[in-house]
Amino acid sequence: MNTERPEPALSPESAGLAPGRGRLAGRRIVVVGAGTRHIDDPDAPVGNGRAIAVLAAREGASVACVDMDRAAADHTAELVEAEGARAVVIEADVSDADACARVIEQSLAALGGIDGVVANVGIGGGGGLQGTSAETWDNVFDVNVRSHFLLAKAALPVMSEGSSIVLISSIAGLKPGSRLPAYDASKAALFGLCRHVAMEGSRRGVRANVVVPGLIDTPLGRWATSGRPSRGTTRVPLGRQGTAWDIAYATLFLLSGESAYITAQSIVVDGGLTQIG
C-alpha cells in the first residue's frame, strides 16, 4: 500500500495564473537578473527573475529588465509588455563594478524614478574546500555579494520614501547542503548586507529585506539537480518543490506597501524544509 501523499495541486498564484490586483500600481521596479537561463528542456519552467518581473508588471509596475543575456532580457520585456506594462531592457554584467552603477543610472533615466530594486543574481562554482580556488571564491563573491552591495549603494540615494530593496538569497545561506562553500558563504553574507542597507535606508524611509528560496523548480534548479540528483528527491514538508511564482509573490509583498513596516528581515520560501524538513 502506497502511503505517500500525492504532490499537491498548485494554487493559481503558485502556477502564475492569478490576476493582478494593482499592488504595485504606478511603481517603477528594477529587476536585476530578469532573464531565464536556457536549458535543453522543452518543458522548462520560468526562472525567478522573469517571474518577478512579469508579476510586478501584472500588478501595475513599470519594469527595467536587467540581465547579462540580452536575448533573455528581451524576452522578459516582451512578457512584461504583454501584461500591459512598460518595459525597459538593460544589458549588464554585474560582476563588473562599473556596470552596477550604470544599471541604476539607466533605469532612473528610463523609468523617471526607482521605487524598487530586486537583486536576483547568483552563481556557484568549485566543489568542497579543496575544489574551490581563490579565483573561484572571488568570482562568486563578486556576483553574489559585491554586486548587491554596489546596486544598493547606487540606488539608495535616488530612491524615495516608501521604496524597497529586495535581495534574493538561498537556504544555502542558512544550512549546509550545496557542497559549494563560496556559494553558501556568499548567500549567508547577504543577511549582513541587508541589515546595513536597511539601517542606512531607514533614514530615508527605504526598506531592505531578503527573500530566501528553498528548492525551487526553475531551469537553474533543474540544471543543479542534473549534477546532484539527490536534490530532486529531497522530501519537502509541503510535498513539492516551489515555483518561481512562489518566489515572485514573496518579493511582490516586500516591494509593495503591504510590507511598509517590515525592514531588515528575511522571508524563507522553502515549504518548511529548513525548520521541519
Active-site positions? 183
Helix (H, G, I), strand (E, B) or coil at 221: helix
- Structural contact between residues 133 and 126, judged by C-beta atoms closer than 8 angstroms: yes
Cell of 165: 530593496
Q: Which residue has the cell 546595513?
A: 196
- Amino acid at position 182, single letter: A
Tell me if residue 96 falls in helix, strand or coil. Answer: coil
Burial of 275 (0-12, 13-18, 19+ CB in 10 A): exposed
Q: By C-alpha distance, which of 146, 111, 96 is closest to 29? A: 111
CB atoms within 10 A of CB 205: 13
Q: How far apart, in whole angstroms, are the C-alpha atoms of residue 178 and residue 167?
A: 19
Can you tell me the distance from the alpha carbon of 168 to that of 48, in angstroms, rounded to the nearest whole number?
9
